[in-house]
């Protein structure tokens, strides 16, 4: 009997010891982690690298982007009582939404988008492929189970974005804010049974000098937006064996478009080579639109008042005229009818003697 009691006592002692060993670990896991201290945030092109010190009780770290505009963010869930409704109903601070016997509390605050999660052993992260020349605010916090620390913030402005790409088999390095001379594409197209050629051989553009990520290259596709050296907004798009498009325009606001005029362009998702509709709007008496369909540069005689339109493939439009392109057929409104295959469309929109908008569209398919 004594021996049996000794065995039971030994077992109870072992169980008590095991609980005493587990207890500190359990207590530590329930503690709120300290906030990490950011030690550096360095910029390299359009990448930002952030490092921070180890935080007490942190089991992992979360890195997020904080958006600059405030919005209603889910804050907590509380009991559905009059006291809580009064407490969390404040203009531009809190509001509640009833859900069953609970209130979901929303706080008017900055929103965060989690970019990545790291183990407690890692305290360094590099955020790549960011928009160039742009201010970013990133945040880091410690996490321990369901508990987390406050966000620690850092704001940095990225440098210019650069992209390497191949055009006509030749390498180019495209960098935001730096002028680059791009070539007309090598393409195969038919116009009146002849190999289509375009007179303009090069295009100057300053990519993304407004701070936007306007450089794209993938599987031969090239999209670059920015400005030309004269300050006009400009774009260069090249889809091998499909189409090429280049434009430049002085005005981009609706007020200026209504005052002067503009070119609007819509493409088909199924067939990008064929515009579903193209409109030229001429809203001022001194406006004039000139176009050709053979890749040669459109010109007009300054002595010509632009009262009527000539026959295809050259046309001049006056105030109130609209040209529409449906598929590959060109039809004009308020001017004599003009039709043709739009393998190469070159349009210039003039105000008096100044070109305010220009577009080249080449169908290569």
Place 272 in a pLDDT band, splitting at 50, 70 and 90: very low
Final residue before a domain boundary, out of 138, 157, 176: 157
- Residue 3 in any domain: the answer is no
The percentage of the chain sitting over the pLDDT mark of 90, rounded to a whole number, equals 43
DSSP string, 150-176: --EEEEEE----EEEEEETTEEEEEET
Same domain? For 97 and 118 the reply is yes
CA angle 232, 234, 238 (to 5 degrees): 165
Residue 22 has pLDDT above 60, yes or no: no
Looking up residue 109, the CATH number of its domain turns out to be 2.60.40.10
- Residue 345 in any domain: the answer is yes
- Residue 271 in any domain: the answer is yes
CB 300: neighbour CB atoms within 10 A? Answer: 17
| 38-44 sheet: strands from edge to edge | 38-44, 47-52, 124-127
Structure tokens at 226: 């920015």
Final residue before a domain boundary, out of 106, 130, 157: 157
Same domain? For 96 and 219 the reply is no
pLDDT given at position 265:
65
Q: Could you check whether the bond before residue 56 is cis, i.e. omega within 30 degrees of 0?
A: no
pLDDT given at position 7:
47
For residue 101, CA distances in Å to 88, 104, 202 come to: 16, 10, 68
Residue 67 has pLDDT above 70, yes or no: yes
Final residue before a domain boundary, out of 157, 174, 208: 157
Gap between the Cα atoms of 266 and 244, Å rounded: 14
Same domain? For 152 and 166 the reply is no
Cα–Cα nearest to 158, from 179, 182, 139, 137: 137
Count: domains in the chain: 2
* Residue 179 phi, psi (nearest 5): -60, 140
Same domain? For 352 and 246 the reply is yes
Cβ atoms 324, 208 nearer than 8 A: no
Cβ atoms 253, 262 nearer than 8 A: no
Q: Are strands 147-148 and 135-144 parallel, antiparallel or unpaired?
A: antiparallel
For the question of whether the overall pTM of this predicted structure is more than 0.85, the answer is: no
Q: Decide: helix, strand or coil at residue 310.
A: coil
């Amino acid at each position: 009997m004594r021996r049996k009691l000794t065995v039971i006592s030994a077992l109870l002692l072992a169980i008590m010891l095991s609980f005493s060993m587990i207890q500190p670990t359990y207590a530590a896991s329930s503690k709120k982690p300290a906030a990490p201290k950011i030690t550096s945030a360095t910029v390299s092109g359009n990448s930002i690298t952030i490092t921070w010190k180890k935080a007490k009780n942190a089991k992992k770290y979360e890195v997020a982007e904080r958006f600059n505009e405030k919005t209603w963010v889910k804050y907590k869930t509380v009991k559905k009582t009059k006291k809580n409704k009064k407490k969390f109903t404040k203009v531009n601070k809190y509001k509640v939404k009833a859900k069953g016997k609970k209130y979901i509390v929303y706080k008017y605050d900055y929103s965060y988008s989690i970019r990545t999660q790291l183990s407690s052993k890692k305290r360094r992260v590099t955020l790549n492929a960011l928009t160039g020349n742009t201010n970013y605010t990133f945040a880091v916090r410690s996490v321990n189970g369901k508990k987390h620390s406050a966000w620690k913030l850092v704001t940095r402005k990225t440098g210019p974005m650069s992209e390497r790409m191949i055009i006509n088999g030749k390498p180019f390095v495209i960098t935001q804010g730096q002028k680059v001379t791009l070539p007309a594409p090598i393409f195969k197209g038919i116009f009146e049974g002849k190999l289509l050629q375009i007179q303009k051989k090069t295009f100057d553009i300053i990519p993304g000098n407004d701070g936007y990520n306007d450089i794209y290259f993938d599987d031969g596709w090239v999209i670059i937006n920015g400005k030309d050296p004269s300050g006009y907004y400009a774009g260069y798009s090249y889809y091998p064996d499909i189409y090429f498009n280049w434009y430049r325009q002085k005005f981009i606001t609706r007020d200026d478009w209504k005052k002067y005029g503009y070119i609007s362009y819509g493409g088909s998702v199924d067939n990008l080579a064929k515009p579903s509709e193209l409109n030229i709007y001429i809203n001022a008496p001194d406006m004039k639109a000139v176009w050709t369909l053979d890749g040669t540069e459109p010109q007009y005689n300054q002595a010509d008042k632009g009262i009527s339109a000539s026959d295809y493939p050259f046309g001049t439009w006056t105030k109130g005229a609209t040209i529409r392109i449906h598929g590959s057929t060109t039809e004009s409104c308020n001017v004599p009818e003009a039709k043709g295959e739009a393998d190469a469309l070159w349009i210039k929109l003039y105000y008096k003697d100044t070109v305010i908008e220009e577009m080249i569209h080449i169908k290569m398919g």
